[in-house]
Structure 1
């Protein structure tokens, strides 16, 4: 498992948010509709705002129910990370992220299946053998680059952690 630990200062996540039900397997149609409703120019505008890690367009899940029950609601934000002093244009939602430690897990494969498998592997193989546990905060997926035209991509899964 390709992982690294990152200690990040506070940052903000900005973009377009929606409340959606949690769906564990496959593509979440509510999230898919939310993203496809955004104009192509809006994706470019968001990318231009990005000035800190995690880089690129982000898929953010926040306000998750502690048990992550199927069908429970979460806040999904399609956006980017910016430094705390970055001016935010009107019409964008913001999630303030306090300073903290993150485990960053890199994966490559068909999306979203590769991410679901990576999360499952982290829960079963990484967390039990490392001195970290999840802490409150958003879960972030950074799409790094597509690797072909068949839905395969390199991604980073950013999970907020604290010492166990």
Structure 2
């Protein structure tokens, strides 16, 4: 998988001065466009579109400083429809406009070309199972929160605190399906979402009956799920589990992610330092 992903990275480099078709990148990597975006984001730490933008502005920055082409020629060469659009994008990445950069020889930011390799440490094993499930219903409460890639998400902490421990215990008593217990669900998180992007967040339990103080519901379609377990420091162990799924498990197994809500159940120790987590990711077989 990583070899094919690096071939897709070569394709990006070859087409930075033209159109880059994500469907073609997915074909080169022999996966779906949805999974390619998710895989890239997990491995690179930034969305695919942001990486391409930064690479284009890195190369165009070198041409701006070289002074061999007009600024408009450089803008058009890297896919910008006007000098104004190019200047806005240039300033967002480099902190200075292209004209000023050329006049002053300003130091610019650089996005290095990426390639990927798999490091096998062998220090721990990943516990997982694959589950086929009929459709089910989550009942609870939903909201929208800004995306946080690492560390606690204050908006989620505040939302869950607002539900209250008494209500959460009441919900858990009414949970009657798998995944069991009180769950967190992210229903519309795209691989292109940058830090701070608002995403849908739902807190609730699987149940076919009425649950007290749970005014909302989220329907989940039938399908295949990869279920992963982790124990360790909270919240890093949970977030690292998500990373390891995409960097270690997917490249080694005949599955790819598919659209659908991602689910997680986290049990935190009384002192808040340790957690046992279970993560459910919607997947489909690749046929490999």
* TM-score of the superposed pair, with normalisation by structure 2: 0.53
Question: Is contact 2:170-2:212 (8 Å) kept?
Answer: no
C-alpha separation in 1, matches of 2:260 and 2:249: 19
- Please state if 1:158 is matched with 2:287: no
Q: CA deviation at 1:25?
A: 0.7
The structure with the largest alpha-carbon Rg is 2
- Please state if 1:127 is matched with 2:264: no
Give aligned pairs, total: 161
- Please state if 1:102 is matched with 2:225: yes
C-alpha separation in 2, matches of 1:6 and 1:22: 28
CA RMSD of aligned residues (A): 1.7
Q: CA deviation at 1:40?
A: 2.4
Please list the CA deviations of residues 122-154 of structure 1 after superposition, one character each: whole Å capped at 9, or x if unmatched: 1111001111111111111112x4456342121
Q: Quote the residue 1:49 is aligned against.
A: 174
Question: Is contact 1:20-1:31 (8 Å) kept?
Answer: yes
Q: CA deviation at 1:4?
A: 0.5
Question: Is contact 1:65-1:73 (8 Å) kept?
Answer: no
What pairs with 1:60-99 in structure 2 (closer than 5 Å)?
60-83=185-208, 86-89=209-212, 91-99=214-222
Please identify, of 65-74 and 27-36, the stretch whose mean Cα deviation from structure 2 is larger.
65-74
Q: CA deviation at 1:89?
A: 4.9
Q: CA deviation at 1:41?
A: 2.0
Q: CA deviation at 1:69?
A: 2.2
Question: Is contact 2:235-2:275 (8 Å) kept?
Answer: no
Report which of the two has the higher share of helix.
2
C-alpha separation in 1, matches of 2:166 and 2:213: 15
Q: Quote the residue 1:111 is aligned against.
A: 234
Unaligned residue ranges in structure 2 (runs of 5+): 1-125
Comparing both chains, which one has the higher relative contact order based on Cα–Cα distances under 8 Å and sequence gaps of 6 or more? Answer: 1
Report which of the two has the higher share of strand.
1
Question: Is contact 2:167-2:213 (8 Å) kept?
Answer: no
C-alpha separation in 2, matches of 1:68 and 1:159: 18
Question: Is contact 1:22-1:69 (8 Å) kept?
Answer: yes
Question: Is contact 2:234-2:272 (8 Å) kept?
Answer: no
Unaligned residue ranges in structure 1 (runs of 5+): none
Instruction: Say which SS state the counterpart of residue 163 (structure 2) adopts.
Output: coil
Question: Is contact 1:65-1:72 (8 Å) kept?
Answer: no
